[in-house]
């Protein structure tokens, strides 16, 4: 009975998370068309202010460029590295460039304050591992993809949006917007990725994870995240969201 419940929880999160990782699927797989994101809720689109700066003129753009450079490197050396090598190469990059504690707390919404410090610590660790696994498990080849960063723009709550585009190497381009916030040390960290300027990965995860905790509790989320990481590390990932 417990095994059946665990499988059920894992299956539900795999289904729910499919939308949340659409950004990664689009980056890694030339097969997935932009139209596959239609109908996904927009949650998280920023209200921008009037000021904007040219490409590469500020620290936020440099953070995004560093991420893109590392992703291209991993893609070009994907087969040689294997999953473990990709994970090892990307883990310090993701931890440096993404505000994992902020994103983990926001991903469970109001439930963050309802769990004790030990569970909060467990979630921070697992969320970080899952974020790295998503990239390491999906960036498994290179076919001429390239990134271009072209604008920074001030956004709400002191954040900055960095606008970039992905050339998939097959004539198709996709706009990717990154939201960054100050890290308190004169630097910037990524807190969200928005596909086509509207689809917020963080908002989607918040909806999915909060719903699972509401239905089955915090332990169910951790179990499902572990199962998802296992799937990514084992190559058990479909080329398209389902």
- The secondary structure of 74-106, three-state, reads HHHCHHHHHHHHHHHHHHHHHHHHECHHHHHHH
Distance CA 65, CA 75 (A): 15
pLDDT truncated to tens, each residue of the chain (242 aa)? 444 444 444 444 544 443 334 444 444 433 322 223 333 333 333 333 334 544 444 699 999 999 999 999 999 999 999 999 999 999 999 999 999 999 999 999 999 999 999 999 999 999 999 999 999 998 888 999 999 999 999 999 999 999 999 898 888 888 899 999 999 888 999 999 998 878 899 999 999 999 999 999 999 999 999 999 999 998 766 433 22
In b/e form, how buried is each residue of 96-125, taking b as 16+ CB within 10 angstroms?
Answer: ebbbbebbbbbbbbebbeebeeebbebbee
Distance CA 3, CA 111 (A): 25
- Per-residue tokens: 117: 């410090």
Domains and CATH numbers, the chain: 2-233 (3.10.450.710)
Residue 140: which residues within 8 A CB-CB, separation 6 or more?
A: 28, 75, 78, 79, 86
- Per-residue tokens: 124: 């921070």
By the 8 A CB rule, do 239 and 31 touch? yes
């Amino acid at each position: 009975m417990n095994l059946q419940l665990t499988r059920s929880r894992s299956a539900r999160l795999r289904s729910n998370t499919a939308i949340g990782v659409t950004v990664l699927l689009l980056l890694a797989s030339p097969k997935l068309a932009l139209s596959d994101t239609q109908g996904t809720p927009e949650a998280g689109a920023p209200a921008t202010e009037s000021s904007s700066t040219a490409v590469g003129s500020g620290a936020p753009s440099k953070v995004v460029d560093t991420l893109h450079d590392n992703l291209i490197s991993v893609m070009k050396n994907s087969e040689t590295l294997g999953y473990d090598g990709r994970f090892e190469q990307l883990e310090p990059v993701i931890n440096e460039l993404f505000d994992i504690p902020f994103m983990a707390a926001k991903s469970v919404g109001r439930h963050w304050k309802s769990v004790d410090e030990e569970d909060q610590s467990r979630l921070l660790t697992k969320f970080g591992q899952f974020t790295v696994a998503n990239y390491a498990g999906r960036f498994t080849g290179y076919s001429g993809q390239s990134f271009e960063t072209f604008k920074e723009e001030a956004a709400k709550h002191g954040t900055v949006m960095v606008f970039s585009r992905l050339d998939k190497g097959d004539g198709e381009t996709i706009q990717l917007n990154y939201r960054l916030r100050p890290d308190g040390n004169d630097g910037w960290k990524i807190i969200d990725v928005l596909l086509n300027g509207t689809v917020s990965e963080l908002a989607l995860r918040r909806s999915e994870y909060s719903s699972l905790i509401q239905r089955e509790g915090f332990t169910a989320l951790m179990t499902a995240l572990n199962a998802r990481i296992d799937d990514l590390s084992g190559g058990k990932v479909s080329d398209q969201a389902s």
